């Protein structure tokens, strides 16, 4: 698999981190370096685990079928993330500065185990991860945000290894791009009026995964 495709995949699964970084910058939420490392390592770990599982599955799949199966997985993931991004863009958003609330009007706190809705919320509103409302994202709080950001990396890694991506190179690329894009997003969010721009990062991520799936199938 060409190195350019690996970089393309890494960007696709890390763009959500750029969007989260912009949201943090807009909210003036500081991300400590230790917190950034937690977020990056969560994504790297998700890619490694999913690609190892994909390699195990690949043993039982024909070499001719595996790449197409991986392409279908990337295609489905890309379509799903694109749909979710479009749904978020056309849906109602919380007012600026308002803390995200559930239907009962309760402010969200740290997500409970298995609460996927709250994990999904964090990618759109990182302030939900700042449980103590200190304005600084600690390493412990960043764990949940890292889990949320690692979800798409897990699915993409599973499909990518079936297509033929190198696990070590892919995991390294994902870690580096997320390490660069999250703080870059924070800087953009603090410097410009990027409130609406940050909402388009998940859409671009989904479209890139969709394109990778198409490329694997043709």
CA distances from 86 to 8, 70, 75, 90, 204 (A): 21, 24, 16, 6, 10
Q: Which of 48-62, 104-118, 135-149, 160-174 has the lowest mean pLDDT?
A: 104-118
Longest Cα separation, the chain: 53
- For the ranges 72-76, 114-118, 213-217, the maximum mean pLDDT occurs at 72-76
Q: What local confidence, expressed as pLDDT, does residue 185 receive?
A: 87
Whether the per-residue pLDDT at 89 is higher than 60: the answer is: yes
CA dihedral 171, 176, 179, 185 (to 10 degrees): -110
Residue 14 clears pLDDT 50, i.e. is over it: yes
When pLDDT is cut at 50, 70 and 90, the band that residue 110 belongs to is very low
The pLDDT score that the predictor gives to residue 28 is 80
The pLDDT of residue 192: 64
pLDDT for 19-76, tens place per residue? 888 878 877 888 889 989 999 999 999 999 999 998 888 888 877 777 788 888 888 8
Q: Note the pLDDT of residue 101.
A: 45
DSSP run (H or E) holding 31: strand 30-31
Strand partners, 101: 107
Mean pLDDT computed over 103-118: 42
H helices of the chain, where? 3-26, 33-59, 66-90, 116-124, 139-163, 167-191, 201-217
* Dihedral angle, C-alpha 212, 152, 178, 53, nearest 10 °: -90
Between residues 152 and 29, the one the model is more confident about: 29
Mean pLDDT of the chain, nearest integer: 77
What pLDDT is recorded for position 41?
94
Look at residue 173 and give its three-state secondary structure: helix
More confident: 57 or 216: 57
In the chain, what percentage of residues exceed pLDDT 90? 16
- CA gap 162, 58 in Å, rounded: 7
- Structural domain boundaries of the chain? 3-88+135-217
Name every residue whose Cβ is closer than 8 Å to that of residue 108 and which is 6 or more positions away in sequence.
99, 100, 101, 102, 118, 121, 128
């Amino acid at each position: 698999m060409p190195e350019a495709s690996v970089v393309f995949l890494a960007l696709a699964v890390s763009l959500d981190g750029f969007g989260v970084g912009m949201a943090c910058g807009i909210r003036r939420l500081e991300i400590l370096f230790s917190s950034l490392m937690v977020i990056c390592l969560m994504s790297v770990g998700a890619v490694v685990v999913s690609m190892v599982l994909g390699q195990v599955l690949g043993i039982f799949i024909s070499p001719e079928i595996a790449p197409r199966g991986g392409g279908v997985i990337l295609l489905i993931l890309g379509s799903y993330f694109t749909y979710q991004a479009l749904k978020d863009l056309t849906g109602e958003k919380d007012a600026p500065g308002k803390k995200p609330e559930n239907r009962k009007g309760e402010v969200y706190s740290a997500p409970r185990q298995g609460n996927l809705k709250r994990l999904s919320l964090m990618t759109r509103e990182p302030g939900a991860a700042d449980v103590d409302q200190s304005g600084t994202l600690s390493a412990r709080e960043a764990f949940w945000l890292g889990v949320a950001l690692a979800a798409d990396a897990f699915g993409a890694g599973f499909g990518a290894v079936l297509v033929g991506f190198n696990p070590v190179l892919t995991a390294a690329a994902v870690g580096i791009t997320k390490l660069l894009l999250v703080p870059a997003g924070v800087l953009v969010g603090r410097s410009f009026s990027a409130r609406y721009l940050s909402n388009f990062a998940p859409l671009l991520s989904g479209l890139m995964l969709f394109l990778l799936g198409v490329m694997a199938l043709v």
